[in-house]
Chain A
Amino acid sequence: MRRPLIRRLTALGAAAALLATVAGCGNPEDDAGLVIYSGRNENLVKPLLEDMEKAIGTTIAVRYGDSAEMAAQIQEEGDRTKAGLFFSQDAGALGALSKKGLLKKLPQSSLDRVDPSFRGGAGDWVGTSGRVRVLAYDPDQVTKAPDSVHELTKPAWKGKVGYVPTNASFQAFVTGMRVLEGDDATRDWLKGLKANEPKVYENNLKVLEAVGAGEVALGLVNHYYWYEQVAEKGEDKVGAKIHFLPGGDPGSLVNAAGVGILKGSDQAPAAQKAVDFLLSEKAQKYFADDTKEYPLAAGVTSTVEDLPPLDSLDAPKIDLGRLESLQETLKMLQDVGMV
């Protein structure tokens, strides 16, 4: 007999569908006062957003996803977007939405909390936390870490550099270099680096581990990976050290995660409160202590040990909105054969 199987499967499927529909009736979005599309990982920001709910007195529903994909989704939704607030992992996605005119102008009082270099040119998005590109090095092999990424193309570092060419932060750094030094210089640098046979890893953490284990001498990473590892394992167990590049070197680019309010939604008052919460001392301290990033709001400094203050860094001056032009960078990386 064959039919009972089909019947059983159908009944099973129908029951499951019913269950899913029933479960779906309690869709939290329907009664939420604010819907946030978060391109930042749930593991990183969930506790903060739970605090936010209490602080602003509105129920919040959060969708997590990839920043770039969510930017595409928001563009597709247009005026009908469900999101009141977009919380992006990097400035580029916010720049793209700003260019399409989908973001609402923020009040000057909110913008003024943050240095102009970490907010949108049109005043419609603001950075909430920053991260710096640093050079990780193995103290057993390297006595003095190079002071510029331009040194990495020298024969001394052949086969000794670890990096993640597919990583968004690396690509933002290359874009930053293009903005600072021009396309020709950047292409030459990429070619030089490629010729120096750097080792490719899947993610920043793997690079840090490889440096710690002495597999490579140097690694191009974001600063907070090191501080997280130190917090988790203790500094002795993390073999690698990090070096902040001086002199406005493109290798110490500061990128920001940030937020913008969607024009198409009717949640602007709640979203505005959320923006102010994210720039409040409480939230900024969270970024400093829990995600080991740089707080960006004036007056808040990181208490993380050994983390040099942001304004002491000799970071390159660059309009983060211009990091939105990744297309050319990718083409360059493809031409050189890195990705």
Chain B
Amino acid sequence: MTAPDPVAPAGPGALPPRPSGPHAPAGRLRAERRPPAVLLVPAVVAAVFALLPLGYLAVRSLERGPAFAWQVVANERTAQLLGRSLTLAAVVVTASLLLGVSLAWLTVRTALPAARAWSVLVTLPLAVPSYVAAFAWLSAFPGLAGFTGSALALTLVSFPYVYLPVTASLRGADPAQEEVARSLGTGPLRTFWRVTLPQVRPAAAGGAVLVALYVLSDFGAVSLMRYDTFTRGIYTSYRASFDRTPAAALSVVLVVMTVALVAAEARTRGRAGHARTGGGTARPAVPVPLGRWRVPALAWCAAVTAVAVVTPLGTLGYWLAVGNSATWDPARLLDTAAATLGVAAAGALLTSLLALPVGVIAARHRGRAAHLLEQSAYAGHALPGITVALSLVFFAVRYAEPLYQAYPLLVCAYAVLFLPVAVAATRAAVLQSPPVLEDVARSLGRGPLRVLREVTVPLAAPGVAAGAALTFVVCMKELPATLLLRPTGMDTLATRLWTETGTGSFAAAAPYAAALILLAAVPSYLLGRHRT
């Protein structure tokens, strides 16, 4: 595929002729240009996918007329619950940023002893379902019930949303900038603040949005902690009135809030470049010596690991020790684990594939279409799992009957639920690779697809893989949608855990929870090993 004009992208995928000419500088041109069809078409497919729950909400919330929906939504309690949800989200986001960024810097950039082991350990909390974390803390400290307990449990399961992308971004960032700063006499803390932090800002902000949306959508932790939030209100509406209309109307409010949140994050992004464009490849960073901070740094890592990983594991051990429901059925555990691995891996794969075009467009293009695509991916992400699941029930029984309650639909549900997780990772990773390389490839006559395959994706690969790993883990522990959409008779680790805890058989539940946490270690370990 050789293009006659070395500037204009050619090939079957390039629809809009690029407005080339001497008037616009190349950089600006790149940012404004409409995405090529080879990206645009799959991105639109992904966005439509992610918007399905919203279509359902429109149907359900308006089925008794807009007046009824308005009456459900417009009252003092809605505002009160929103306030509580947002406060909780703000606290959890702040704490997660603190934990995630500090741990990422320590494990990637410093001479922290056993950094590899720490980097695997601190991602494990991600696999702990929020209700297990809440249960663990509540059993140990009943007084935590309420806001404090909810904030604690949610922070401890969601800070890896920040940790993982920031780690990937630190690994991809050019250490030369930090070294220059250090060589000019800037201290390590100041270097961190002035140089490192701006480099990881897109990744951290993307993670922060995911944490916020996770908190908004969470039901497990807040229900055990008895802290009333907006999502708890939605669940209560399903459980108490068996009526889907009020729940749908309330869910619309969550969507509006999500869109506002994502828009606010986009506004703070700015236009700073985050990529290196020097000659050759980036060297591995020289680890910052910790000196007398070695012990406090180790203590910090150990403390986080202790509260986030050891507490839930300790609770599982306690369940095993005191419970009398322990039934050791390794064959069943193995079957369940294999089934879970299968659907979670398929879910992570589909999600990452769908997220790729959206993430690339979000990183490389500005303008209304790009913005809209990214917004669409996020719009439904704060919705409670039950709402998303019901929306897929609604569409599947009507338009894809053969898929209903079959594996492919469950995998699609994971993609709808977790698309933003992979989009955020992809976008941050693409931002870190220099766009000029893509321009060079284009100028050499590469079509958009080849540029994507040969330049963009290989450069962004570590970040994309981290996103896939993250998606994999959250798919594994997903419960509400899995319960409604799984093939009849199929169990995942999360559904078994739910069944056993449902009859108070905590000892029987413990192996399933432990397997969830152990399996989550596999992708983290693989990613860590690949670096060295």
Residues in A lying within 8 Å of B, measured CB to CB: 2-3, 5-6, 9-10, 12-17, 19-21, 23-24, 27-29, 32, 35, 41-44, 61-66, 68-69, 71-73, 75-78, 80-82, 92-93, 96-97, 165-166, 168, 171, 200, 202-203, 205, 232-233, 324-327, 329-330, 334, 339
Which residue of chain B has its CB nearest to the CB of A99?
Answer: B242
Q: Of the candidates A41, A63, A71, which one forms a contact with B499 in the assembled complex, judged by CB atoms under 8 Å apart? A: A41
- Does B342 lie within 8 Å of A19, measured CB to CB? yes
Instruction: Give Cα A71–Cα B238 distance, bound, in whole angstroms.
Output: 9
A17 with B502: in contact, given A23-B342, A330-B240 (CB under 8 Å)?
no
- Does B240 lie within 8 Å of A327, measured CB to CB? yes
- Does B458 lie within 8 Å of A41, measured CB to CB? no
Instruction: Give Cα A115–Cα B364 distance, bound, in whole angstroms.
Output: 69
Q: Shortest Cβ distance from B202 into chain A, in angstroms?
A: 20
Q: Tell me if B314 is interfacial: C-beta within 8 Å of chain A.
A: no
Q: Of the candidates B398, B405, B411, B461, which one forms a contact with A2 in the assembled complex, judged by CB atoms under 8 Å apart? A: B461
- Does A5 lie within 8 Å of B502, measured CB to CB? no
- Does B324 lie within 8 Å of A24, measured CB to CB? no
What count of chain B residues pass the 8 Å CB interface test? 64
Q: Could you say which of B480, B488, B500, B502 has the most chain A C-beta atoms within 10 Å of its C-beta?
A: B488
Q: Nearest 9 CB-CB pairs, A to B?
A: A13-B349, A96-B242, A16-B345, A17-B346, A24-B407, A326-B240, A20-B342, A2-B461, A68-B239
Which residue of chain A has its CB nearest to the CB of B60?
Answer: A76
- Does B138 lie within 8 Å of A17, measured CB to CB? no
- Does A2 lie within 8 Å of B349, measured CB to CB? no
- Does B458 lie within 8 Å of A80, measured CB to CB? no
- Does A17 lie within 8 Å of B342, measured CB to CB? yes
Instruction: Give Cα A324–Cα B242 distance, bound, in whole angstroms.
Output: 8
Residues in B lying within 8 Å of A, measured CB to CB: 77, 135, 138, 145, 223-224, 226, 228, 236-244, 324, 339, 341-346, 348-350, 386, 389-390, 393-394, 397-398, 401, 404-408, 411, 457-459, 461-462, 464-465, 468, 480, 483-484, 487-489, 495, 499-500, 502-505, 530
| Complex interface: chain B residues within 8 A of A334 (CB) | 77, 228
Known: A9-B465, A82-B488, A200-B226. 16 other contacts (CB 8 A): A2-B461, A9-B468, A10-B349, A16-B342, A17-B346, A27-B488, A29-B487, A29-B488, A61-B489, A62-B489, A68-B239, A71-B242, A72-B242, A76-B390, A166-B223, A232-B324
- Does A41 lie within 8 Å of B503, measured CB to CB? yes
| Complex interface: chain A residues within 8 A of B145 (CB) | 200
Q: Shortest Cβ distance from A204 into chain B, in angstroms?
A: 8
Number of inter-chain CB pairs below 8 Å: 165
Q: Of the candidates A5, A61, A92, which one forms a contact with B462 in the assembled complex, judged by CB atoms under 8 Å apart? A: A5
- Does B499 lie within 8 Å of A43, measured CB to CB? yes
- Does B393 lie within 8 Å of A73, measured CB to CB? yes
Which residue of chain B has its CB nearest to the CB of A335?
Answer: B77
| Complex interface: chain A residues within 8 A of B223 (CB) | 166
Instruction: Give Cα A248–Cα B224 distance, bound, in whole angstroms.
Output: 32
| Complex interface: chain B residues within 8 A of A81 (CB) | 397
Q: Could you say which of A2, A13, A44, A339 has the most chain B C-beta atoms within 10 Å of its C-beta?
A: A13
| Complex interface: chain B residues within 8 A of A10 (CB) | 349
Instruction: Give Cα A28–Cα B459 distance, bound, in whole angstroms.
Output: 45
Q: Shortest Cβ distance from A325 into chain B, in angstroms?
A: 8
Instruction: Give Cα A6–Cα B453 distance, bound, in whole angstroms.
Output: 12
